[in-house]
Amino acid sequence: MQRLRYQDILAVFIGGCFGGAARWGIGLWLNDADTMLGTTAVNLLGSFILAFVTYGLAVYIDLPSWLILALGTGFVGAFTTFSTMVLNLYKHVGESPVYAIGIFLLELLVGLGAAFGGYLCAEAWGRRRQTW
């Protein structure tokens, strides 16, 4: 079992503060009472960012573990929101089951695509960085 370090806890906390604030800001900008656009946007963007950070930055740059924790677990963990997505889906299932299923499939499939895109961008960035 890995030992708990205060530096790691602080990194996750600070990253989480920024991720939560970013999610809140995007929600203010994109959400309205009838759509889940803000939640969908942060979840898809978060899928891309997490793949890029954990594959690209962690593999191609020798970053300290606390920084990877701050960016991945902290920022992206607070930025994305599975529970809000499920709550929104539950709300919409009674009103429009087809809409709810469509949003769920969109987040699942496009989220996987966004993560794959983050991986590919990290791979391309890493190759380009090696030629510098």
Query: How is residue 105 annotated by DSSP?
Result: H
Cα distances from 60 to residues 16, 25, 78, in angstroms, run 24, 31, 24
Assign 3-state DSSP to the chain and report helix, strand, coil percentages, each to 5.
85, 0, 15
Measured CA to CA, the distance from residue 73 to residue 39 in angstroms comes to: 18
Side-chain-side CA neighbours of 69 within 13 Å: the count stands at 14
List, as residue ranges, the binding site for Na(+). Answer: 77, 80
List, as residue ranges, the binding site. Answer: 77, 80
**Per-residue exposure over 87-103, b if at least 16 CB sit within 10 Å of its own CB, e if not:** ebbeebeeeeeeebeeb
Measured CA to CA, the distance from residue 73 to residue 56 in angstroms comes to: 15
